[in-house]
Amino acid sequence: MHREDFNLLNTDIIYFDNGATSLKPKAVIDSILKYYEEYPMNAHRGDYKLSLLTSNLYEETRVKVKDFINANKKEEIVFTSGSTESLNMIINGYFKDKLSSNDEVILSKSEHASLILPFMELGVKIKYANLDEDYKLTLDNISKEVTPNTKVIGLSHISNVIGDKRDIKSIIEFAHKNNILVVVDAAQSLGHTLVDVQDMDIDFLAGSAHKMCGPMGVGILYAKEELMREIKPVYTGGGVTVSFNEDEIVYKDIPYNLESGTRNVPGVIAFSKAIDLINLIGVNNIEEYITDLKKYLINKLSKLDNLEILNSNVEGSTIIFNVKGVFAQDTSLYLDKKNICVRSGDHCDKMLHEVTGVKNTVRVSLYFYNTIEECDKLIEALNNPNILEESLGI
């Protein structure tokens, strides 16, 4: 779908590393060029036409993001540099002062480092919910870890390695009944599945534009208004205060109190074009298309007896596997010789191997512009008894 929007797809490159970052459509690239050529101003700084134009375009993206995730108000959206910064701001700006050393946080070993590490650094007690036999995270397993001390559950909506989509709505409903707040890492789900923060009753959410056809260095932090008002600025500086003197700092209202310094203004403006494209295709159509493509790929790859696939029973956009007897990185290098881009390693989930028993894997991650023909080329490349020799050039 929409392959004509991506110049790289006119070459012989097959891009299967969408979990790391997606390709950028021409409309996003053009928007960045337009910014630098026509109104390369800072947002919310100048009292002249061009700066006001820049500020308006920046704020238009905020409204677009609000609508995209169905937030109640645009003030519930803060622009950050990515999911990592959003999660650090939520955890250090909100939870750091609210949690004591007796309080417990529930995570799982299938979460990204950007969610686990900021909680670890707080020094609170972390409980890791078990994964089921398919390495999925379920409400049942989360609920087993809950005690009267549980204050937060942190989880990705779609996990970045196994690719399981968590039942966010039920998990949050359960959490709220137990007075627990939920931090949703939506890095892998925005642009892949419907995210409706009001319907799901999400407290805090983090996302990255670059994984949904947007530019690098732009992220979103969503929080319900009353929670957003309690997030303390982790970074302070230019643009966030009304006034300060030796005795007092008066911060601006949300969301501007949390957007210190110069933001990625062209990136935020161009992010709008990525949302337009995803809206044009329809996120439900994207999800359906990728689910079918994954089924096709899994079906064919399962027939190759040189492969060990870890997540065959999981719907979603990732396939995690190893070629028997071949180190994951060597498989990537072999595929790269055929211009097929995949990722290998631990994929920033440094504890998942404690559950799966497999430290490094190859990850194929799909997006809407991938095709059956590209999948066939991958299958053909992997259906080869000499992958190790060919990757090493021997």
Ligand X SMILES: Cc1ncc(COP(=O)(O)O)c(C=O)c1O
d(CA 333, CA 335): 5
**Nearest distance in Å: CB 115, ligand X:** 6
Residue pair 265/53 in contact by the 8 Å Cβ criterion = no
Two tokens at 186? 């939506």
The SS3 call for residue 250 is strand
129 vs 307, beta carbon nearer ligand X: 129
**Nearest distance in Å: CB 82, ligand X:** 3
118 vs 255, beta carbon nearer ligand X: 118
Two tokens at 307? 């492969």
Segment contacting ligand X (CB under 6 A): 40-48, 77-85, 91-99, 123-131?
A: 77-85
Count of beta carbons in the 10 Å neighbourhood of residue 4: 11
105: enclosing H helix or E strand: strand 104-108
Interface of this chain with ligand X, residues 311 to 370, rule: CB under 6 A: 348
Segment contacting ligand X (CB under 6 A): 80-88, 196-204, 283-291, 367-375?
A: 80-88
Interface of this chain with ligand X, residues 259 to 318, rule: CB under 6 A: none
- DSSP letters, 236-247, are --TTSEEEE-SS
218 vs 231, beta carbon nearer ligand X: 218
Of the candidates 195, 137, 134, 164, the residue with the CA atom closest to the CA atom of residue 315: 164
Q: Does 22 bind ligand X (CB under 6 A)?
A: no
83 vs 108, beta carbon nearer ligand X: 83
92 vs 241, beta carbon nearer ligand X: 92
Q: Does 112 bind ligand X (CB under 6 A)?
A: yes
d(CA 342, CA 106): 31
**Nearest distance in Å: CB 21, ligand X:** 8
213 is a catalytic site residue: no
Binding residues for ligand X, total number by CB under 6 A? 12
- DSSP letters, 309-370, are ES-TT--SSEEEEEETTS-HHHHHHHHHTTTEE-EEE-TT-TTTHHHHS-S-EEEEE--TT-
Residue pair 233/240 in contact by the 8 Å Cβ criterion = yes
124: enclosing H helix or E strand: none
Q: Does 54 bind ligand X (CB under 6 A)?
A: no
150 vs 188, beta carbon nearer ligand X: 188
Q: Which of 110, 160, 193, 370: binder of ligand X (CB under 6 A)?
A: 160
In the stretch 170-209, what mask flags binding to ligand X with x, by CB under 6 A? ---------------x-xx-------------------x-
Question: Catalytic positions, please?
Answer: 348
- Residues making contact with ligand X (CB under 6 A): 82-84, 112, 114, 156, 160, 185, 187-188, 208, 348
